[in-house]
Structure 1
Amino acid sequence: MIATLNKFFAFCSAKHRRMFYGALLLGVLIAFCEVLKYPAINLILHGFSEKRMTGKLILFSFLLLLIGVLAEAAFRAKQAMLQCRAGYGECANKRIEIAEKLRFLPMGYFNRKSLGDISSVTTNTMEQLGDVATLVVMQTTQGLLNTALILLMLLLFDWRIGLIALTGVLLFALINARMQHENESLSKQKIANDTKLVENVLEYIQGISEVKSYGLSGESERKLKDSIAESARVMTELELASNRYVPLQNGVLKLTGLGILLVSLRFYLDGSMDLITAVLMMVMAFHVFAGLSSMGSYSALLRMVDLCVTRGQEILSLPSMEIGGEDYKPRTEDIELDIIDFAYESRKVIDGVSLRIPSGTSAAFVGPSGSGKTTLCRLMARFWDVQRGAVRLDGKDVRDYSIDALMENFSFVFQSVYLFHDTVANNIRFGKPDATMEEVIAAAKQACCHDFIMALPEGYDTVIGENGASLSGGERQRISIARAIMKDAPVIILDEATANVDPENEKELMEAIAALTKEKTVLMIAHRLKTVRSADCIFVLDRGRIVQRGTHEELLREDGIYRRFVEARSEALSWRV
């Protein structure tokens, strides 16, 4: 228990940790205020027994009670405010911190981890940390402090009663430890099921078109229902496991309170305790363990807190790519690869590749599926770090640039386009956040998407669904190109940029891309012959190696993959129905 509490506080930022400590300090003051009622009762009882009850004594006792009640209310209000600000503030900060961490992780991490796993950590786990964990930690810590304070007071009043109370607390602690041990495995199952549930929900929603087209809605729905049912089962088991121990914990505390009452009465009857102390002990017996009882109910979730912190720490402790480079602005866009190797874990994808792309020229990458074309282009923009050799921009290793300085030099248009749940204008403006509306419209016109945007219900202010779900594939592609036009970076990477474009818009779009890429360094990955034939240099890849390089005409004169590629495309174009 103590280890989990320390782990939680260590995970928090210094600012919010101070807030939590402040809330705990207020909890101690609240405990003192609660204890004030007993000296007041003691004064009244002594006044009655000694027949010296006066107005002054009554007034003093009443003021003591009033001060305790008012101070407790003020401290509780301040404590609740600190607790909420620290809990939800830490949750927000950790989400931002994790997002920043993900930004600088190698892309290989995202290949290994599912979207559901990452989403679960940033949503469910952090939500539990900010909401449930904060309440559990504060109630548990508060219960421990209050109980320690009351035990100390009991030992000072009468050490025998104090020892009885201490025995009850130790029995409570043994039962609580057993409960947490049983909850540990169930808490792990709950975290795993939360992740699995998010994965299956995302898979079901994202693949709904394929599910319907192949008539697999029943199977996919069954998979989702099974995840929901399993999550419900584990949650029920977790609750039942706690409910087996919480009544037992409370029973021990109630019996200990009853024991204090009976023993106090016994001590009075045998003359070893005066009447006033005995009555006070009997009154306290009903309230002494209130804080500990509340703590026992919440402490059942401490293992969940521990796992939430662990999952957050796992991401935050991952080794990031080295990002402390120089904010260097290159004078040219010369790109050079010097005998680079790269592998996804044990599978080698790029094998000893060397090439040079002069500034202001275009390079096309062709080859069979899985030959390493996309990986090679992404290595140039440092989506990953090479395992051997170096990638240089303007003669400087890309690892020596700061990430932001490096990214300023690249614009990307991928075949798989991601659009945000926002207005069309803001999706285009993503390439340049401070762009004016006139600049947005100009970029849209270049990308041949102005007309269809104006046909939308609210034009550029139309909010499109997540990932542009309300737009066609070609429309999403053109908005992505408008975004790249808006950024106006000196190096353009086109990964099948025209793959989803309607034939009637292809000519205009190719003209827009030509205007975008004028006097810039262009890297293109394409299977369409017309896309690559005008490139200044074509690199042909096979199994991670460059097997051919040259212009379209030069490669046609060679017997190799490129000529077979051209012949296959030409034959396909000659087909007629």
Structure 2
Amino acid sequence: QTALVETVLEYVQGMGVIKSFNLSGRGDKNLQDALEYNRKSNLGMEQLMTPYTIFQELVLQIAGIGMMLAAVVFWINGTMTLVNTLMVIIMSFLVFGQIKLFGMGISMLRLADSSIERTLQTEDMEQMDESGKALAVKKHDIVFDDVHFAYESKEILHGINLQIPDKTTTAVIGPSGSGKTTLCNLIARFWDVNSGSVKIGGKDVRDYTLESLMEQISMVFQNVYLFADTIENNIKFGRPEATHAEVVAAAKRACCDDFIEALPDGYNTVIGEGGASLSGGEKQRLSIARAMLKDAPIVILDEATANVDPENEDRLQKAIEELTKDKTIIMIAHRLKTVRNADQILVVDNGKIVQQGKHDDLIKQQGIYADFVLGRKEAIGWKLNAGN
């Protein structure tokens, strides 16, 4: 059953890819195999239980018929009155009917036992320690002290030492899979380090309660998820007590007030799960409005302008500058104009910080950053020659 559910979810989520490659009817082989496996498993279970069920039914029916025959014989012999005979006949149906239901319940208990066993396995999983305190620090500098982190057995970060001063901007660049997003996720304690420590305001993130830690952090992801709710409630997600006027103000600063007002119900428009009814740029701007409304002292931007259309990029860049004013900023970025103005730039490769400094210093060094800048300049200067 678990394998079937996982396969169905995978198929539904990847349906667009299957259609785009014209694999309808062939791309669902895994789904068909899962359905067939589930069918065989259910049939096998029924075949296993059928002999017991038949035997149980046979015994109960014979016992019921035996009670009725015995009652009739006693009545004929005059040892039982007609009323008692009829009562015994009726009771033969009731008594054995309850026993039949009990037998069916035993079968259901076998299935429930299997489900309970899976639930107990989940409860036995190691839980993240949440015995911290509700801390409120005055400074929001971030320090990585010899941080090692692994997903299962594969180590991703190898001995990261890093200081991000309070109210500064740090840009993180590097090849795909180098550990940039993992670095940011450890600050928000989406994962716990294997060794070393991550500190905010001089306090280990493990010393905070989850609530007090997240009150200090706003995150804008590249892949935005919106809930099946009104636009206003999605923006208020980080601050449910915010007023409508505050929501509108945040939306205007994030350059999304125009398209919201154009919707049939404005801020009360209900969007589909995941924001399916909005474009990528619109979802990104709503996510930034959400972060603006929360107004946390630490802001983590994971390629926040990746899905924004060009005509809104300049306005949104100004909105991000307003969002990040007087805050501690960590941004994963690949746009040159976003990176070059950072207070410090971190170049991450293979889970290590291989370069660190300001744009003017790093551009003079041979390495990933100089190649990154050169590649961006070539991309910007690339033109299509209409004559060829």
TM-score by shorter chain over 0.5: yes
**Deviation string, structure 1 residues 91-140 (Cα, Å, up to 9, x no partner):** xxxxxxxxxxxxxxxxxxxxxxxxxxxxxxxxxxxxxxxxxxxxxxxxxx
Q: Distance in 1 between matches of 2:22 and 2:333?
A: 33
Name the SS of the counterpart of 1:220 in structure 2: coil
State the partner residue of 2:351. Answer: 544
Q: 1:202: which partner in 2?
A: 9
Provide the C-alpha distance between the structure 2 equivalents of 1:257 and 1:214, rounded to a whole number of angstroms.
Answer: 63
Whether contact under 8 Å (1:532, 1:538) holds in the other structure is: yes
Q: Is the 8 A contact 2:71 2:80 kept in 1?
A: no
Tell me the residue number matched to 1:27: none
Residue 314 of structure 1, CA deviation: 2.4
Alignment-derived partner of residue 133 in structure 2? 326
User: Equivalent residue for 1:214?
Assistant: 21
Quote how far apart the aligned CAs of 1:217 are.
2.3
2:361 corresponds to 1:554? yes
* Aligned residue in 2 for 1:434: 241
What does residue 189 of structure 2 align with?
A: 382
RCO (CA 8 Å, sep 6+): is it higher in 1 or 2?
2
CA distance in 2, matches of 1:456, 1:415: 24
**CA separation of 1:295/1:550 partners in 2, compared to 1, >3 Å: closer, same or farther?**
same
- 8 Å Cα contact 2:302/2:333 also seen in 1: yes
Structure 1 residues 387, 455: CA separation in 2 closer, same or farther (over 3 Å shift)?
same
For residue 490 of structure 1, the aligned residue among 297, 307, 318 is: 297
**Unmatched 5+ stretches in structure 1:** 1-190
Matches within 5 A, 1:26-105: none
Which residue identity does 1:549 align to in structure 2?
Q
CA-to-aligned-CA distance 1:200-258 (integer Å, 9 cap, x gap):
33323322332222222232345444544544454455455544432320211232344
Q: 2:219 aligns with which of 412, 420, 423?
A: 412
Q: Does 1:521 align with 2:328?
A: yes
> What is the aligned counterpart of 2:114 among 292, 295, 307?
307
Paired residue type of 1:480: S
Partners of 2:246 and 2:309 lie apart in 1 by: 25
Contact 2:236 2:293 in 1 (8 A): yes
Counting matched residue pairs gives: 382
Displacement, 1:269?
11
Larger Rg: 1
1:455 aligned residue: 262
Alignment deviations for residues 348-373 of structure 1 (CA, whole Å, 9 cap, x no partner): 11000111111100111111111111
Residue 505 of structure 1 is matched in structure 2 by 312
What letter matches 1:319 in structure 2? E
For 1:196 and 1:372, locate their aligned partners in 2 and report how far apart those are by CA, in whole Å.
31
Letter in 1 for 2:139: T
The amino acid that maps onto 1:427 is N
CA distance in 2, matches of 1:296, 1:412: 55
Deviation, structure 1 residue 393? 0.8
Deviation at 1:487, TM superposition (A): 0.8
Write 1 or 2 for the structure with the bigger share of strand.
2
Higher helix share: 1
Unmatched tracts of structure 2, length 5 or more: none
Q: 1:254 aligns with which of 51, 61, 67?
A: 61
Q: Name 1:293's counterpart in structure 2.
A: 100
> Does the CA contact (< 8 Å) of 1:363 and 1:536 recur in 2?
yes
How far off is 1:438 after superposition?
0.9
User: Are positions 1:345 and 2:161 aligned together?
Assistant: no
CA contact (8 A) 1:474 1:500 kept: yes
- Distance between the aligned counterparts of 2:214 and 2:311, measured in 1? 33
